[in-house]
Structure 1
C-alpha cells in the first residue's frame, strides 16, 4: 500500500488506468451488442478523457472519504490488513461507480432530457462489473504490480 504522496499518486494512476480502461471496454461492449476487436482501441480513446476525470475524483475526493470511513470502522493495529483493503475498495466503488457513470452519461450517452434515468441505468449496469473488477482483478493485480515497482 502507498506510504507517501508520491506512492499514492503512482498507485492511483495505476488503478485508474486499469479500472477505467476495462469499465470503458465493458460499456462500449454493452452499447454495441458485444466486444469486438475495435473495442480495444475505442476504449483507449475514451480513456484519454475518462482517465483524468477518474484520477481527480479518486485522488482528491473519493480516496479520502474511503480511507476516513474505513478507518472509522477498522482498527489497523487490531484488525487484519485485508479488511482495510476490502473496506477502502468497497467504499471507493460505492462512490466512484455513480460518479463515473454520471460523467459517462453526460459525455457519451446522448441522454437528452432522460439524463437521470439513463444515469441510473448506467450505474446499475456498471456496479456489478466495477465491484467484480475491483475486488477480483484490478485491485489484486495493481497492488501486486505496485509492490513490485515500489519495494517495501
Structure 2
C-alpha cells in the first residue's frame, strides 16, 4: 500500500493508465463495436473509427490517442482528489488496517474505489460523449449516465478486483521493494518488542 504522496501518485498513475486503456477498448469494441461497423459499413472497429474520422467526443471527432489522454488526465485527477482518499476512509469504517488481514482491507478499498469512481467517471463521460448535434436535454443526460453506469460497473468491479489491482500491486511492489522490505522489517521489530514486553510483564506478574 502507498505510504506517502509520491507513492500514492505513482499507484494512481499506474492504475489509471491500465484502466483507461481497458475502458476505451471495452467501450469502442465491446459496447459500440457492432454499431460502428454497421454505420460505416466496415469489417473492423478500427476501420470504422478511421472511416468516421475518429472517436466522437465534445461534439466532434478526435483520434483515439487524444481520447485516451483526455480520459487519463480526468481519471488521474479524480483518483487523487476523490477516489484514493475517500475509498481509504470508507474502508477504515469497516476494517482496521492494523488488525484485519491486509487482503480484506485492500479488497474493501477496491470495492469502495469502484463504487465512487465508476459513477463519477460515467457522469463525466455522459458530458464528453453526449450527442450535442441533436441538442441538449438534462433527461437524456441522466439516461446516458444510467446506461453507462449499468455497462461500466460490472466491468469495473470484476476487472479491478481480479485483474487490474493485482497487476498494479505487483508492479508497485517491484518498484518500491526496498521501501516495502524496510517497512516489513520495522514492523517485525515492533512486533518482537511488543511480544518481549508481554513476556516481561507475565514474568513480573508470576514473581
TM-score of the pair, normalised by structure 2: 0.68
2:28 is matched with 28
The runs of 5 or more residues in structure 2 that have no matched partner are 36-43, 55-62, 181-207
> Which structure is larger by alpha-carbon Rg, 1 or 2?
2
| Structure 1 residues 66 and 106: CA distance shift in structure 2, 3 A | same
Residues 54 and 100 in structure 1, CA contact (< 8 A), matched pair in contact too: yes
2:17 is matched with 17
User: For 1:2, what is the secondary structure of its paired residue?
Assistant: coil
Counterpart CA distance in 2 for 1:109 and 1:131 is 24
Q: Compute the displacement of 1:97 (Å).
A: 0.5
2:187 is matched with none
Counterpart CA distance in 2 for 1:37 and 1:132 is 26
Residues 20 and 51 in structure 1, CA contact (< 8 A), matched pair in contact too: yes
User: For 1:64, what is the secondary structure of its paired residue?
Assistant: helix
1:50 is matched with 71
Alignment: residue pair count: 151
TM-score of the pair, normalised by structure 1: 0.91
Alignment of 1:1-150 (within 5 A): 1-29=1-29, 30-33=31-34, 36-37=45-46, 43-110=64-131, 112-113=136-137, 114-150=140-176
CA-based RMSD of the aligned residues comes to: 2.0
Q: Which has the higher contact order (CA 8 A, sep 6+)?
A: 1
Residues 67 and 88 in structure 1, CA contact (< 8 A), matched pair in contact too: yes
Which stretches of structure 1, 4 residues or longer, exceed 6 Å deviation after superposition? Answer: none
Q: Compute the displacement of 1:7 (Å).
A: 0.7
